[in-house]
Structure 1
Amino acid sequence: MENRPNICLTPGCPNGIGPEVLAKSLLALGQSLQAQFFFAGPPSLLTVAAQRAGCQFVEGHFLQGHHRSAKIITLFEDRELPPIPPLGAHNEDALIIQARAIQKAVSLGQDRAIQGLVTGPIRKAAMEYCDSRFAGHTEYLHAHLAVDENQPLMAFAGGPFVLGLATIHIPLGQVPSHLSREGLKQQVRRLRGLIGQLKNKQDIRLTVLGLNPHAGEDGLLGSEEETIIQPAIQALIEEGLAVNGPVSADGFFARFGKSGFEPQVDGVLAMYHDQGLAPYKILAGGHGVNITSGLSIARTSPDHGTADDIAGKQLADASAMQAAIETCLALVNV
């Protein structure tokens, strides 16, 4: 038991569903998890999480009937953070709680005190209290915990393949200027490595989506496929990777709607956020997990947002958070 990995858990927005799905997930997973969990928040927030989830938090464990979660150690005292705001109060206190949790996790990662991190969904405004240069978790964590100078890969598991994004949180109009041959090659390599970790296989089949409608239609609808994407794919093929593309995104995803015609692929690289994530979240069926590849620790999170409208109503589905915890442990134990 002394070799159990240390996993940090952040609550996300205290007014969203993050705390309650964390409680539900840990309760469902029980005490068999081979990890030590640290919660980057105060005990009072876990008590609130338990109330919203319909259970109790007693002496470091979530309890419900005969069910008992693994032990959770809190990293803040209640006096160190603002009071937990009531549901619906999207105030500065809520943003500070989110920011302090992320900062604590980064500090632990830099000190090599944790091997994994599972983050709850935040409000992007909280990043202003961490560092306004970064739009979200992925960019901020990479700035402080990167293993190299290359861009992090924002990836997703839980669907029929592992999805990677060539670009992250940028306006749609900026996507073409952020694409490069070397950048795409690096992201495909990261995606392939991640799939190897998750699936423990070597014969990995990859597909790269085009940027433009119909993957550019031989240059009629855009040139990026011919000048950037195809040359990058060809270079990867020459390295020995099994890569197909550029493929029209609409045609690729449409095949999942017809039984027997689904693409046989292990990983897909989409060119931008919504191109990949809109269909992928449907395919993942509520079990999607966000993974940041390129960090010194394993980092995962559920693929949904704060869902403020259902917080505290015991309607939140904890499937994605549970999958995020399990995926984090799988990556740590590779």
Structure 2
Amino acid sequence: MIAPLAVSLGDPAGIGPEIIAEGWARRREAGLTPFFVSGGVDVIARAAHSRGLDIPVERIADLSDACAMFETALPVLGAEEHGATFGAPDDHGAALALHSLAEATRHALLGSAAAVVTAPIAKARLARVGFEHPGQTEFLADVCGLEREDAVMMLAGPSLRAVPLTVHCALADVPTRLSQDLIERRARIVARALARDFGIAAPRLAVCGLNPHAGEGGRFGDEEARIIEPAIETLRGEGLSITGPHPADALFTPRARRTYDAALAMYHDQALVPLKALDFDEGVNVTLGLPIVRTSPDHGTAFDIAGKAVADPGAMIAALKMAGEMAKRRAEHG
């Protein structure tokens, strides 16, 4: 049996706490691996109540109690309390979210947790309390001692896996951030992770072009010929099954999706728009290349609906399920 999953609270004023509680309530039907929440026992209890969930939420002082308790109560590790108001984020809540993230990650790095599942944060609010990272992916890369280029965001749902090769930057900066080395490094990480964590023995990758019509022979830009095509040729020479560059407007059709296991997109929205259009309520943000397993629901804090019992828990449940499956594969195969 693997260790429990560590779940970070997210911003306590957002929907994270309530969809975590809903995930526990549906643990049996979803077949979830046991998990505990890092901090915020009062926040979780109030969030559960706001959804009409009559579930026991129990504070634990030792992780050895998490798995034993999981079938009868939602275990929460730590004594942190915070009187959060749904939909009204504040600095105290941001500090709790940051502490929860740091502690959940620490347990995963120590091996006392099999994975970390992160609930949504408000990046601007976290910056006010000392968070110096563009997002949780970059935070995890830094604490794991990796270069940020080697922590790769993949969005995964039932219909699509998509990887944005550049992430949190202005669209105008994308062409200058793209390089042959970046594409090659991240493609290798994606291929290894698909084999190791998803059980795909011979992963197939498809690469988007940057420009409309993948540049159309240089008429709409030269990045395809100058950067993307040489990277693909190098990777093919290493034995990877990789195609492209493809026009992005054709790569996400049902017929095209059957030809690859993951699509590599050139920028954030090129990957996230199709994923959210296809799998919004089941989309998972998974970080590839880390020494630990990390997943997250692929949506934000949704302050406007927090506490109103309307937030769909599907993406959180999918993130919990995927984290458990990935952790079990790593435990079985090393």
In the aligned structure 2, how far is the partner of 1:215 from the partner of 1:316? 38
In the aligned structure 2, how far is the partner of 1:251 from the partner of 1:105? 40
Shift of 1:36: 4.4
Shift of 1:265: 1.5
Partner of 1:65: none
Shift of 1:186: 1.4
Partner of 1:244: 243
Change (3 A) 1:25 1:229: same
In the aligned structure 1, how far is the partner of 2:314 from the partner of 2:72? 18
**Structure showing the higher helix proportion among its residues:** 2
In the aligned structure 2, how far is the partner of 1:8 from the partner of 1:330? 14
Change (3 A) 1:117 1:262: closer
Partner of 1:121: 120
In the aligned structure 2, how far is the partner of 1:52 from the partner of 1:237? 53
Shift of 1:170: 1.2
Partner of 2:205: 206
Shift of 1:262: 5.1
Match of 1:310 among 305, 309, 320: 305
Change (3 A) 1:30 1:227: same
In the aligned structure 1, how far is the partner of 2:256 from the partner of 2:190? 24
Partner of 2:332: none
Query: Is the 1:116–1:297 contact (alpha carbons within 8 Å) kept by the matching residues of 2?
Result: yes
Query: Is the 2:2–2:328 contact (alpha carbons within 8 Å) kept by the matching residues of 1?
Result: no
Shift of 1:272: 0.7
Letter in 2 for 1:306: T
Partner of 2:22: 24
Shift of 1:226: 0.8
Q: Which moved more, 1:279-288 or 1:189-198?
A: 189-198
In the aligned structure 2, how far is the partner of 1:99 from the partner of 1:285? 25
In the aligned structure 2, how far is the partner of 1:271 from the partner of 1:130? 32
Query: Is the 1:21–1:53 contact (alpha carbons within 8 Å) kept by the matching residues of 2?
Result: no
In the aligned structure 2, how far is the partner of 1:233 from the partner of 1:32? 39
Change (3 A) 1:60 1:9: same
* Structure 2 unpaired stretches of 5+: 60-69, 330-334
Partner of 1:98: 97
What does 1:74-113 correspond to in 2, within 5 Å? 74-77=76-79, 80-81=80-81, 83-113=82-112
Shift of 1:285: 4.4
Letter in 1 for 2:14: G
SS in 1 for 2:281: coil
Letter in 2 for 1:331: M
In the aligned structure 1, how far is the partner of 2:93 from the partner of 2:57? 25
Could you list the per-position Cα deviations for residues 177-223 of structure 1 after superposition, in whole angstroms to 9, with x for gaps in the alignment? Answer: 21111211111111122222454222322100011111111112111
Instruction: Number of aligned residue pairs: give it.
Output: 319
SS in 2 for 1:189: helix
Query: Is the 1:103–1:130 contact (alpha carbons within 8 Å) kept by the matching residues of 2?
Result: no
1:272 aligns with 2:288: no
Partner of 1:158: 157
In the aligned structure 2, how far is the partner of 1:111 from the partner of 1:307? 32
Change (3 A) 1:166 1:70: farther
Partner of 2:136: 137
* Structure 1 unpaired stretches of 5+: 62-67
Partner of 1:15: 13
In the aligned structure 1, how far is the partner of 2:322 from the partner of 2:115? 10
Could you list the per-position Cα deviations for residues 127-157 of structure 1 after superposition, in whole angstroms to 9, with x for gaps in the alignment? Answer: 3256543111000111002466743110011
Letter in 1 for 2:251: F
| Percent of aligned pairs with the same amino acid | 34
Query: Is the 1:99–1:129 contact (alpha carbons within 8 Å) kept by the matching residues of 2?
Result: no
Q: TM-score, normalised on structure 1? A: 0.88
Shift of 1:38: 2.6
Change (3 A) 1:250 1:33: closer
In the aligned structure 2, how far is the partner of 1:55 from the partner of 1:69? 16
Q: TM-score, normalised on structure 2? A: 0.88
Shift of 1:312: 1.3
Could you list the per-position Cα deviations for residues 149-173 of structure 1 after superposition, in whole angstroms to 9, with x for gaps in the alignment? Answer: 7431100111423211111211111
Q: Which moved more, 1:158-167 or 1:283-292?
A: 158-167
SS in 2 for 1:15: coil
In the aligned structure 2, how far is the partner of 1:220 from the partner of 1:284? 34
Query: Is the 1:33–1:70 contact (alpha carbons within 8 Å) kept by the matching residues of 2?
Result: no
In the aligned structure 2, how far is the partner of 1:193 from the partner of 1:331? 13
What does 1:40-55 correspond to in 2, within 5 Å? 40-55=38-53
In the aligned structure 1, how far is the partner of 2:115 from the partner of 2:47? 22
Partner of 2:66: none
